[in-house]
């Protein structure tokens, strides 16, 4: 904060003079800083950057004299020397123009003189005042990064780059021009400058110019001795363009004797008027800056009514609650009108516009700009794609197409282990997160991400509950689910025609792959900022389409509220009894070894039982068992169905033993062994990842590990569920929908008889059997009921005679007769199927009860088999998809519902029609009742279903017992 007391009185001798290049700052800030507008639409990004820079400067400097110098008119004495000087310079962008005046105002608000003079550039005024200051015995600091000012550097005059926050001395000048500061003009005269339209000598750049000047001493000597130069082209160029070089020198050489009318003595530091300053900050709504002024000067000032909410230090969170608690604010943020989508495609991708944020001031600017904008793209870079193992490495943000930044936080010294290079300059992690937290948690600022669930998890481990959020991946999924994938690279190529830098391009692949913290900052910036940029553009393109295409409700009521719920589930994870898995692995291994021994003995040959190819050859060639069909690849089919058939028809013991071996092998490798490795050492639990945009129907999928296919159907497999346990004092609660898809079929195909049966709670499979086969329900043969059950399932799958015959092991003709009988009894089902297929053919998609679209590319395929396949998928998708919508609605509501009821249960897993919870023992009954209620009421209020939905509960110490 600026110190109030001036060091000396006017007229006293200056010790240290600060000359701030105001004009140069505007141009540089415009490209490097986030775009920011005042509520009235005035662009103020550069103004805020300047304000904060000046404040910091005044706070930290020991200067006793200070002034900000500006350019006056565009034409000046240099145009008399060379008419085209700066002739190529385009008009400043319109957003820049109002900021010139505002920066003057800002300067005055700090009670610092703003100097400009007709006919002279700021650089000449700076040169003149620097000369005067040195003559008066003072040190001079020029605040600018303009290379044209570097000629002024000497042991009394140095520069300071306010954008990069670093001093520029003789060493930096040498780095840039290859010569000492006093020779800079000579180099510039030779090399020229295309931006300022300084001609220079053709064919000579900075490198060659420096070499020549260092050899000959100065420009005049060089031009005089130009004939000595060996390279013919260079020699001729120098001789012919000697005049141009001299003119160029006059152009770049700064005038040090401008007849200035404000004396240096007037630059003496004056007292800060806080009222004036706060008034200015308030007018421009620089909230964070106001907060900083106030926190430094107390709250006794005029602006104290302005909201001031500095972020609290992050709490350490072990049980993150990611659920938003301010629905009103969320709505406000998400209904924020999306700006025109045109820019998203028309603005070119330019990595040069991405800013590397390495100091807190720049970060403050981005935070401020994001708060003003009301929405911001946020993307995290980490050391691992698995959230639970990932450490935060950096954060990127984007505010407008082409305007993005990357904030490195956890970058190391580089890939080479032997290279003990120093760490790059970064804002300390805790400082950056403390600065970002109020933004990320601000209910009025929408945080946009691509698969933002991932970033939510990362931030939650840092104690930051990001809300509200939007997800471009999910928006795309809602718009075009089933039509294509929804990864960022794919969406970028599809919608933006731009192929982003691949992750593997910056990290490498395979053995040489490095983690992101080892990626050099320039590469990290180009990659990470581009990701944020792409995400922002996708959001601008896709978000408005939700409303236009009547899919906003699906997104808002199903997908978006699910994000925090799923993130929470993944973070919590499920407890696994590792010793139990260990025991099972050992048990399975022993029994497999025994089976292997028996199989080899019975077959009389040693072979790899796990190899389908070898197994087929052993069974059908070596043992000459009957049958043996080769598939398209020429290998014998050895699937479970084939082996079962073989076991009964041939009577040979090997097929059965192979089946047993296979089961154990599967259970061991896929479950008992693999799950142990998935236990997170930090939490002692297994954290799956639920994919929200992976399936064509709207279902979730689970991976790494897949916890949606844990065995249950066989007794051996069921043992694995015993290893899924609850924490001490807790129980596992499983609640699943009973026959939800069949109920939905009755509802959506509108079959009154089936609806009635569900309302009465009748045995639906027995009813089907009695209706189709004309058999009374009383005393029904279980086999008959089993066939009816298979038919009912077949309906859901888009029944075919072949499929049903396979399932039941009956001739295809018989299956066909069953289907005919079923359709005759329930003609509505056939009509529904035909209707659905027609709709799919006409629109290319089908819809669920809640309006979700499931695209069916290939529904009109010329290949009849593929077409039939898509038709069956089209019949299944509305049923499977509606069931998915319903359980998603329940899941989105449950965390809040449990919270409001004061229950501590945590949702752990979703398995399509089942939810698994970990519940304190004392709350089991209340939780079960609540969950059941929420699940059964999930369609409301959007849909009223005439068939009752029933959710059944089960409780136990492990998942096997709970089911």
Partner DNA sequence: TTTCTCACG
Partner DNA sequence: GACGTACGTGAGAAAC
Instruction: Supply the DSSP symbol for 415.
Output: S
| Options 26-34, 279-287, 339-347, 912-920: segment touching DNA (CB under 7 A) | 912-920
Q: Which is nearer to DNA, 166 or 816 (CB)?
A: 816
Q: Residue 218: how many CB atoms within 10 A of its CB?
A: 15
Among 802, 834, 857, 921, binds DNA (CB under 7 A): 802
Among 379, 724, 912, 945, binds DNA (CB under 7 A): 912
Q: Which is nearer to DNA, 344 or 675 (CB)?
A: 675
Q: Which is nearer to DNA, 543 or 699 (CB)?
A: 699
| Options 209-217, 432-440, 863-871, 954-962: segment touching DNA (CB under 7 A) | 863-871
Among 140, 258, 877, 898, binds DNA (CB under 7 A): 877
To DNA, the closest distance from the beta carbon of 199 in angstroms equals 54
Coil, strand, or helix at residue 460?
A: helix
Distance of CA 167 to the CA centre of its chain: 35
Coil, strand, or helix at residue 939?
A: coil
Burial label for 590, CB within 10 Å (0-12, 13-18, 19+), is exposed
| Options 195-203, 221-229, 862-870, 898-906: segment touching DNA (CB under 7 A) | 862-870
Coil, strand, or helix at residue 167?
A: strand
Q: Is 480 an interacting residue with respect to DNA (CB under 7 A)? A: no
To DNA, the closest distance from the beta carbon of 42 in angstroms equals 48
| Options 17-25, 53-61, 446-454, 701-709: segment touching DNA (CB under 7 A) | 701-709
CB-based burial, 75-86: b 16+ in 10 Å, e otherwise = ebebeeebeebb
Q: Which is nearer to DNA, 550 or 597 (CB)?
A: 597
Distances (CA, A) of 934 to 175, 759, 925: 68, 19, 14
Helix (H) or strand (E) holding 103, with range, is helix 97-109
Burial label for 270, CB within 10 Å (0-12, 13-18, 19+), is middle
To DNA, the closest distance from the beta carbon of 608 in angstroms equals 5
Among 227, 864, 902, 941, binds DNA (CB under 7 A): 864
To DNA, the closest distance from the beta carbon of 568 in angstroms equals 20
Question: What six digits make up the tokens of 258?
Answer: 């401008």
446-449 vs 469-471, strand pairing mode: parallel
403-408 vs 355-356, strand pairing mode: parallel
Coil, strand, or helix at residue 237?
A: helix
Q: Which is nearer to DNA, 637 or 821 (CB)?
A: 637
Among 69, 710, 892, 908, binds DNA (CB under 7 A): 710
Residue 162 main-chain phi, psi, to 5 deg: -75, -15
Q: Which is nearer to DNA, 674 or 753 (CB)?
A: 674
To DNA, the closest distance from the beta carbon of 644 in angstroms equals 9
Among 326, 703, 933, 946, binds DNA (CB under 7 A): 703
Site residues (CB under 7 A) for DNA, limited to 234-263: none
Q: What is the per-residue binding string for DNA in 375-394, x denoting contact by CB under 7 A?
A: --------------------
Q: Which is nearer to DNA, 148 or 617 (CB)?
A: 617
Site residues (CB under 7 A) for DNA, limited to 582-641: 608, 610-614, 616, 631-633, 635, 637-640
Among 806, 851, 926, 957, binds DNA (CB under 7 A): 806
Cα–Cα distance for residue pair 260/268, rounded to 1 Å = 16
Site residues (CB under 7 A) for DNA, limited to 206-235: none
Q: Which is nearer to DNA, 223 or 877 (CB)?
A: 877
The site that binds DNA (CB under 7 A) totals a number of residues, namely 73
Assess contact for 19 and 141: CB atoms under 8 A: yes
Q: Is 722 an interacting residue with respect to DNA (CB under 7 A)? A: no
- How many H-runs (helices) and E-runs (strands) does the chain carry? 40, 23
CB-based burial, 22-59: b 16+ in 10 Å, e otherwise = bbbbbebbbebbbbbebeeebbbbbbbbbbbbbbbbbe
To DNA, the closest distance from the beta carbon of 790 in angstroms equals 4
To DNA, the closest distance from the beta carbon of 949 in angstroms equals 14
Assess contact for 618 and 603: CB atoms under 8 A: yes
Q: Which is nearer to DNA, 214 or 614 (CB)?
A: 614
Site residues (CB under 7 A) for DNA, limited to 880-909: 880
Distances (CA, A) of 231 to 191, 212, 236, 246, 353: 17, 12, 9, 21, 39
Q: Which is nearer to DNA, 158 or 721 (CB)?
A: 721
Among 119, 424, 628, 717, binds DNA (CB under 7 A): 717
Cα–Cα distance for residue pair 863/734, rounded to 1 Å = 44
Question: What six digits make up the tokens of 264?
Answer: 């240096």
Among 328, 340, 417, 865, binds DNA (CB under 7 A): 865
Coil, strand, or helix at residue 117?
A: coil
Assess contact for 721 and 959: CB atoms under 8 A: yes
To DNA, the closest distance from the beta carbon of 186 in angstroms equals 56
Q: Which is nearer to DNA, 29 or 911 (CB)?
A: 911
Q: Is 713 an interacting residue with respect to DNA (CB under 7 A)? A: yes
Q: Which is nearer to DNA, 167 or 487 (CB)?
A: 487
β-strand partners of 127: none
To DNA, the closest distance from the beta carbon of 54 in angstroms equals 54
Site residues (CB under 7 A) for DNA, limited to 677-696: 691, 694-696
Q: Which is nearer to DNA, 152 or 873 (CB)?
A: 873
Nearest to residue 410, comparing CAs of 528, 320, 513?
Answer: 528
Burial label for 338, CB within 10 Å (0-12, 13-18, 19+), is middle
Q: Is 705 an interacting residue with respect to DNA (CB under 7 A)? A: yes
Among 47, 726, 840, 911, binds DNA (CB under 7 A): 911
Distances (CA, A) of 962 to 527, 722, 735, 918, 957: 47, 10, 9, 11, 7
Q: Which is nearer to DNA, 396 or 880 (CB)?
A: 880
Nearest to residue 132, comparing CAs of 17, 274, 249?
Answer: 17
Q: Which is nearer to DNA, 44 or 884 (CB)?
A: 884
Q: Is 447 an interacting residue with respect to DNA (CB under 7 A)? A: no
Site residues (CB under 7 A) for DNA, limited to 130-149: none
| Options 539-547, 567-575, 791-799, 824-832: segment touching DNA (CB under 7 A) | 791-799
Q: Which is nearer to DNA, 497 or 510 (CB)?
A: 510
Q: What is the per-residue binding string for DNA in 647-676, x denoting contact by CB under 7 A?
A: ------------x--xx--xx-xx--xx--
Question: What six digits make up the tokens of 611?
Answer: 């190899």
Q: Which is nearer to DNA, 122 or 691 (CB)?
A: 691
Name the H helices within 623-780: 640-650, 653-666, 674-677, 715-721, 740-748, 752-760, 764-773
Sequence-separated (6 or more) residues with CB below 8 Å from residue 428: none
Among 413, 680, 807, 957, binds DNA (CB under 7 A): 807
């Amino acid at each position: 904060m600026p110190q109030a007391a001036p060091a000396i009185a006017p007229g006293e001798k200056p010790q240290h003079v600060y000359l701030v290049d105001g004009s140069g700052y505007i141009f540089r800030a415009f490209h490097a800083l986030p775009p920011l507008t005042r509520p009235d639409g005035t662009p103020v990004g550069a103004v805020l950057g300047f304000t904060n820079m000046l404040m910091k400067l005044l706070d930290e400097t020991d200067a006793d004299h200070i002034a900000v110098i500006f350019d006056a008119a565009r034409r000046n004495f240099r145009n008399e020397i060379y008419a085209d000087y700066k002739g190529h310079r385009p008009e400043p962008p319109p957003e820049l123009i109002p900021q010139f005046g505002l920066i003057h105002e800002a300067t005055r608000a700090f009670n610092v003189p703003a100097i400009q003079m007709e006919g002279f550039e700021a650089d000449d005024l700076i040169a003149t005042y620097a000369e005067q200051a040195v003559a008066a015995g003072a040190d001079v600091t020029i605040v600018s990064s303009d290379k044209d000012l570097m000629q002024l550097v000497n042991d009394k005059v140095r520069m300071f780059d306010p954008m990069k926050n670093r001093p520029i001395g003789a060493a930096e000048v040498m780095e840039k021009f290859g010569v000492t500061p006093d020779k800079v003009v000579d180099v510039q005269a030779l090399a020229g400058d295309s931006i300022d339209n300084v001609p220079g000598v053709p064919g000579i750049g900075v490198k060659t110019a420096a070499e020549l000047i260092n050899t000959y001493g100065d420009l005049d000597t060089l031009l005089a001795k130009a004939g000595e130069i060996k390279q013919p082209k260079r020699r001729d160029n120098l001789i012919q363009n000697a005049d141009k070089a001299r003119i160029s020198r006059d152009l770049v050489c700064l005038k040090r004797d401008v007849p200035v009318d404000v004396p240096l003595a007037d630059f003496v530091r004056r007292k800060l008027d806080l009222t004036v300053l706060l008034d200015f900050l308030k007018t421009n709504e620089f909230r964070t800056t106001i907060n900083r002024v106030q926190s430094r000067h107390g709250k006794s000032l005029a602006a104290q009514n302005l909201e001031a909410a500095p972020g609290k230090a992050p709490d350490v969170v072990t049980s993150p609650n990611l659920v938003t608690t301010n629905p009103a604010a969320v709505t406000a943020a998400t209904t924020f009108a999306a700006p025109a989508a045109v820019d998203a495609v028309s603005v070119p991708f330019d990595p040069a516009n991405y800013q590397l944020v390495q100091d807190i001031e720049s970060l403050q600017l981005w935070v401020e700009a994001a708060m003003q904008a009301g929405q911001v793209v946020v993307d995290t870079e980490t050391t691992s794609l698995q959230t639970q193992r990932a450490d935060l490495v950096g954060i990127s943000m984007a505010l407008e197409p082409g305007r993005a930044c990357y904030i490195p936080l956890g970058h190391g010294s580089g890939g080479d282990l032997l290279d003990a290079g120093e760490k790059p300059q970064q804002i300390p992690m805790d400082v950056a997160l403390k600065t970002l937290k109020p933004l990320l948690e601000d209910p009025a600022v929408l945080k946009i991400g691509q698969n933002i669930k991932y970033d939510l998890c990362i931030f939650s481990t840092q104690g930051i509950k990001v809300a509200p959020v939007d997800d471009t991946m999910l928006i795309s999924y809602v718009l075009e689910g089933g039509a294509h994938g929804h990864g960022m690279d794919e969406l970028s190529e599809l919608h933006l025609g731009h192929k982003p830098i691949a992750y593997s391009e910056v990290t490498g692949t395979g053995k040489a792959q490095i983690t992101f913290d080892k990626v050099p900052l320039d590469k990290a910036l180009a990659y990470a900022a581009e990701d944020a940029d792409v995400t922002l553009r996708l959001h601008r393109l896709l978000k408005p389409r939700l409303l236009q295409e009547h899919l906003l409700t699906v997104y808002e009521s199903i997908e978006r509220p699910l994000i925090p719920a799923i993130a929470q589930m993944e973070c919590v994870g499920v407890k696994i009894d590792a010793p139990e898995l260990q025991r099972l692995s050992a048990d399975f291994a022993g029994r497999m070894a025994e089976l292997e021994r028996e199989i080899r003995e019975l077959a009389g040959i040693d072979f790899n039982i796990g190899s389908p190819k070898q197994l087929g050859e052993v069974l059908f060639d070596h043992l000459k068992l009957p049958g043996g069909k080769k598939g398209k690849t020429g290998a014998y089919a050895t699937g479970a169905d084939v082996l079962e058939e073989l076991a009964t028809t041939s009577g040979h013991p090997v097929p059965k033993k192979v089946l047993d071996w296979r089961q154990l092998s599967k259970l061991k490798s896929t479950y008992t062994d693999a799950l142990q490795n998935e236990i997170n050492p930090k939490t002692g639990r297994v954290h799956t990842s639920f994919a929200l945009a992976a399936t064509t129907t709207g279902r979730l999928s689970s991976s790494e590990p897949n916890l949606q296919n844990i065995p249950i159907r066989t007794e051996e497999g069921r043992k694995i569920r015993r290893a899924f346990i609850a924490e001490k004092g807790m129980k596992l609660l499983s609640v699943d929908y009973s026959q939800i898809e069949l109920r939905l079929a009755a509802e959506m195909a509108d079959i009154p008889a089936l609806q009635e049966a569900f309302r009465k709670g009748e045995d639906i499979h027995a009813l089907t059997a009695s209706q189709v086969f004309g058999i009374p329900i009383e005393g029904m043969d279980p086999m008959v009921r089993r066939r009816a059950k298979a038919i009912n399932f077949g309906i859901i799958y888009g029944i075919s005679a072949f499929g049903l015959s396979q399932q039941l092991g009956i001739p295809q003709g018989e299956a066909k007769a069953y289907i005919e009988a079923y359709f005759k009894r329930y003609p509505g089902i056939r009509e529904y199927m035909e209707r659905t297929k027609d709709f799919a053919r006409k629109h290319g998609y089908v819809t669920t009860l809640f309006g979700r679209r499931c695209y069916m590319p290939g529904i009109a395929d010329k290949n009849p088999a593929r077409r039939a396949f898509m038709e069956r998928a089209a019949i299944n998708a509305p049923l499977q998809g509606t069931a998915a919508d319903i359980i998603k609605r329940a899941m989105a509501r449950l965390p809040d519902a449990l919270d409001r009821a004061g229950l501590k249960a945590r949702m752990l897993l979703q398995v399509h029609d089942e939810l698994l919870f970990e519940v304190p023992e004392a709350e089991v009954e209340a939780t079960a009742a609540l969950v059941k209620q929420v699940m059964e009421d999930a369609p409301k209020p959007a849909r009223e279903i005439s068939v009752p939905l029933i959710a059944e509960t089960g409780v136990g110490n492990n998942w096997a017992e709970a089911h």
